[in-house]
């Protein structure tokens, strides 16, 4: 799912392309995408773009008359900038916004269509779509602490809750927690002052660092390689690979449709956290330490006699 760094770079790429340009037509071959009724789709056509903003993980395009086109890309939605009137891909194409300067396309991979489009009138209606999380790049430490400790949750859940924090998802929460050297399962109510200060600094450092990196990679072009798995990430999507800080193999915890990636050496004092997918089956046989995990699950040396790779 595109998160804060990706959305920021999308907005920066869109600004010189559509700001003050007129939206001439909206092509919507997938009517399920539109999740609002009033105003109608025809109301936005012929209007000039007056602003762009981020609303959590959503992109809001402001048109004259305080009409807003609000896009939520969810997991597999992506934006593309094409020549004016360019045809949409048949299977992946969800919407095309034809501006006087070119066409903004929305596509979504896979069959589970989750991306959404809302059309709203007025700033109060726009604000109603905001889950309410604080902007981690502009809030101060006191406001951050208040949001973090409002309820007692694991850090992984708290950071990815849009009601608490704006724009952080599965990928960058892994990177933030690794940078802060804290467990994804640490409870917010048990964090001390130093933990919270370290986490606050890690959030700002991680997100601004990735914004700068993605901005440099995109240059004057349009971001076409938006993904949750990037070269240079420390732990996210790197299960079993060495941690760039300490060299220990990156671990994971699977839950629902997501997983948390972490380094036991850097974040949990060597303790391997129980993966529910395995711990239900293995119960007390689940490894409790990094050393025990390596003994049980590490692949044997290539060509080692009498060894078989364990199935994971």
pLDDT at residue 145, rounded to an integer: 97
What confidence tens digit (pLDDT) does each residue in 256-311 have?
A: 667 899 999 999 999 988 765 545 544 444 455 555 555 555 544 444 444 443 33
pLDDT at residue 199, rounded to an integer: 98
pLDDT at residue 254, rounded to an integer: 81
What pTM does this model have? 0.87
Which H/E stretch holds residue 292? helix 290-297
Domains and CATH numbers, the chain: 4-127 (3.20.190.10), 133-299 (1.10.8.50)
What confidence tens digit (pLDDT) does each residue in 156-215 have?
A: 999 999 999 999 999 999 999 999 999 998 999 999 999 999 999 999 999 999 999 999
Q: Confidence class of residue 130 from pLDDT cuts 50, 70 and 90?
A: very high
Pairwise CA distance, residues 60 & 79, whole Å: 13
Distances (CA, A) of 239 to 50, 139, 156, 250: 44, 32, 17, 5
Going by their DSSP bridges, the two strands 93-99 and 116-121 should be labelled as: unpaired
């Amino acid at each position: 799912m595109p998160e804060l760094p990706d959305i920021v770079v999308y907005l920066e790429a869109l600004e010189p392309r559509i700001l003050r340009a007129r939206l001439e037509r909206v092509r919507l071959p997938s009517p399920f995408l539109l999740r609002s009724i009033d105003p109608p789709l025809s109301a936005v056509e012929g209007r000039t773009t007056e602003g762009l903003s981020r609303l959590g993980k959503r992109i809001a395009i402001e048109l004259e008359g305080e009409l807003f086109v609000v896009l939520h890309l969810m997991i597999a939605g992506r934006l593309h900038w094409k020549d004016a009137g360019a045809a949409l891909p048949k299977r992946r194409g969800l919407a095309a916004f034809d501006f006087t300067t070119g066409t903004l396309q929305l596509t979504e991979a896979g069959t589970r269509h989750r991306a959404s489009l809302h059309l709203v009138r007025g700033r109060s209606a726009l604000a109603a779509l905001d889950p309410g999380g604080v902007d981690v790049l502009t809030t101060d430490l006191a406001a951050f602490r208040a949001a973090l400790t409002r309820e007692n949750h694991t850090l992984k859940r708290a950071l990815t809750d849009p009601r608490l924090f704006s724009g952080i998802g599965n990928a960058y929460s892994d990177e933030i927690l690794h940078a802060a050297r804290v467990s994804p399962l640490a409870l917010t109510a048990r964090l001390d002052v130093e933990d919270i200060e370290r986490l606050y600094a890690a959030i700002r450092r991680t997100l601004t660092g990735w914004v700068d990196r993605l901005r440099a990679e995109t240059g004057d072009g349009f971001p076409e390689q938006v993904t949750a798995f990037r070269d240079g990430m420390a732990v996210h999507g790197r299960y079993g690979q060495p941690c760039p800080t300490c060299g220990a193999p990156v671990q994971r915890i699977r839950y629902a449709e997501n997983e948390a990636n972490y380094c036991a050496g850097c974040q949990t004092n060597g303790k391997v956290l129980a993966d529910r997918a395995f711990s239900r089956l293995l119960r007390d046989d689940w490894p409790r330490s990094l050393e025990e995990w390596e003994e049980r699950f590490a692949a044997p040396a290539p060509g080692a006699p009498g060894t078989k790779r364990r199935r994971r």
